Structure 1
Amino acid sequence: MTTLSVHLVVALAVLAGIAVLAAALSRLGTARSNAVAVGRAVAQLALVSLVLTAVLGRVEWSLAFAVVMLGVAVGTSARRIGVGRAWPWVLVCVASGAVPVLVVIFASGSVPWNGAAIVPMAGIVIGGCMTASSLNGRRCFIALREERDTYEGALALGLAGPVAIRLVIGRHRAEALVPGLDQTRTVGLVTLPGAFVGVLLGGGSPAQAGAAQILVLVGLLAAQTLVVVVQSLLIERGRLVPEDLRQSTLRRTTRAQVGLSEGVGD
């Protein structure tokens, strides 16, 4: 089991140096971001470790901590996809995946209802929902910017705005689920994810580790699928769209509808 020691400090310093140096030498433009991310991770985990010492002992405090995690996940995803003002809709997306999955996990009795289980399980599921929201949002918005002709053509043919948007983003939605699908398909063959390793390090048997990991993987797959479905619907209806796309889409919609009306009148 990993412990706080000089060896750990040396390993972290070397690994962080590799990330920063490789990014700098290859001019990826992420050297500074890598260094900042490492610094933040160390500081945040140190703080969280202290907080969890008090939180894990009581269910109500563990639930409050899970709510904080949800808020951070929503804010992070909203900034990542460029819809800061529409964060309530991002909350709807993330919660639509996290809440039902966590309810099933705990209501079924698969995981005990206590602080030591609530915090890690909520963190894993909410984190997966955040990733799905960010990946799907970014990919769909890129498609709407790059495939303007397809969108305008659909409007010119008389299709409604949501249908025109669906024609553009429909084939891109599944891309956000690729990481989760790959991890589920190759678990045990290529990777041994965190839940499996964590149970083993905690003294559990391989069977218990496998049970915990399959529960996490299937739960994540369900949660991320729900997030992609709900988020795509919100994008189609114009509820969750960056400001630049909102303005240009409204202008193009109006122009296409006017042109269609004039054509019908002639």
Structure 2
Amino acid sequence: MTAWQDHLGFGLGLGALVAATVLLARAAGLSLGLAPLTALLRAVVQLGVVALLLRGILSAPWTVVAFLALMLATASWTARGRLRGLWGGRRAAVLGVVCGAVVALGAVLALRLVEPEVRYVVAVAGIVIGNAMSAATLTGRTFLRSATQRSGEVEAWLSLGATPTRAHRDIGREATREMLLPTLDQTRSTGLVTLPGAFVGALFGGASPAEAAQFQLVVLAAIALAMTVTGVVVARLVGRSPYVAA
């Protein structure tokens, strides 16, 4: 089988998976439209660009800073758009993603949990930044939903003279906790239920099972720290106003 036939078969198989997702979502009334297809097409373009960029980064390590900044800016912008309906949501999303990613990645490097080589830094940073982005979105949207449902409780606190921060404190804690639970569950089940991408990728890259497991543990710990920091920052910032909706 020639190379182009391999590529064609891969493309058709990938298209079948996306088509199944679109059709199932439509049958279930999820109102997603062609979002699964457009999301994958965007991923194809972006991964192609990233593959080209990584070649340059791996050959010129000083460019890693610019690449990390690009990833951080993209993640912040994406989370910002998801929280535009929440008071202060855009600012909270950006600060949350930046704080979570910087704290977690900084801790990993300061503690020398991975070698300060470009390939390791880029790998850990990409995973951490992506999870910080998800944490900001999930915390903010859960906060908005809970604050709307519990508006009477918030108004009662405010009528008693409580600050908006105090009135929204329990809601913010609940939103952060609910955001973290799936990640903690996945961490608990790692190796038994799931084999995370960092572990599998390290194995494919030639690392021993012990080295791959060590790298995965670093990633899991960094993800938990980044998401916790992000969730706390987002919840605290959006809870400063008596008004929930933007």
The answer to whether the Cα contact below 8 Å between 2:168 and 2:239 also exists between their aligned partners in 1 is yes
Paired residue type of 1:55? I
Task: Quote how far apart the aligned CAs of 1:238 are.
Answer: 3.1
Paired residue type of 1:190? V
- Per mean C-alpha deviation after superposition, the further-off stretch among 161-170 and 217-226 is 161-170
Q: Deviations over 1:122-147 (max 9, x none)?
A: 11001111111110000001111121
What is residue 33 of structure 1 aligned with on the other side?
A: 35
> Pairwise mapping of residues 85-164 of structure 1 onto structure 2 (< 5 A)?
87-164=90-167
Task: Quote how far apart the aligned CAs of 1:166 are.
Answer: 1.4
Gaps in structure 2 of 5+ consecutive residues:
none
Could you say if the C-alpha distance between residues 107 and 100 of structure 1 is closer, same or farther in structure 2, counting changes exceeding 3 Å? same
Equivalenced residue count is 241
Distance 1:240 1:223 in 2: 27
The answer to whether the Cα contact below 8 Å between 1:19 and 1:31 also exists between their aligned partners in 2 is no
The answer to whether the Cα contact below 8 Å between 1:90 and 1:240 also exists between their aligned partners in 2 is no
Distance 1:99 1:240 in 2: 29
Distance 1:88 1:25 in 2: 37
The answer to whether the Cα contact below 8 Å between 1:93 and 1:230 also exists between their aligned partners in 2 is yes
What is residue 260 of structure 1 aligned with on the other side?
A: none
Gaps in structure 1 of 5+ consecutive residues:
244-266
Which of 213, 220, 231 is matched with 1:210 structurally? 213
Could you say if the C-alpha distance between residues 45 and 241 of structure 1 is closer, same or farther in structure 2, counting changes exceeding 3 Å? farther
Task: Quote how far apart the aligned CAs of 1:83 are.
Answer: 5.4
Q: Deviations over 1:105-136 (max 9, x none)?
A: 12232222232222221110011111111100
SS of 1:29's equivalent in the other structure is: coil
Larger RCO (CA within 8 A; separation ≥ 6): 2
Task: Quote how far apart the aligned CAs of 1:219 are.
Answer: 0.9
Task: Quote how far apart the aligned CAs of 1:240 are.
Answer: 10
Task: Quote how far apart the aligned CAs of 1:233 are.
Answer: 1.6
Distance 1:67 1:182 in 2: 30
The answer to whether the Cα contact below 8 Å between 1:83 and 1:242 also exists between their aligned partners in 2 is yes
Distance 1:30 1:224 in 2: 26
Could you say if the C-alpha distance between residues 229 and 179 of structure 1 is closer, same or farther in structure 2, counting changes exceeding 3 Å? same
Task: Quote how far apart the aligned CAs of 1:44 are.
Answer: 1.2
Structure 1 ranges of 4+ moved more than 6 A: none
What is residue 74 of structure 1 aligned with on the other side?
A: 76
Could you say if the C-alpha distance between residues 80 and 209 of structure 1 is closer, same or farther in structure 2, counting changes exceeding 3 Å? same
Distance 1:212 1:185 in 2: 16
Q: What is the TM-score of this pair, normalised by structure 2?
A: 0.90
The answer to whether the Cα contact below 8 Å between 2:139 and 2:231 also exists between their aligned partners in 1 is yes
Task: Quote how far apart the aligned CAs of 1:200 are.
Answer: 0.8
Distance 1:197 1:241 in 2: 42
Distance 1:194 1:126 in 2: 15
What is residue 201 of structure 2 aligned with on the other side?
A: 198
Paired residue type of 2:61? V
Paired residue type of 1:53? R
Q: What is the TM-score of this pair, normalised by structure 1?
A: 0.84
Distance 1:107 1:98 in 2: 14
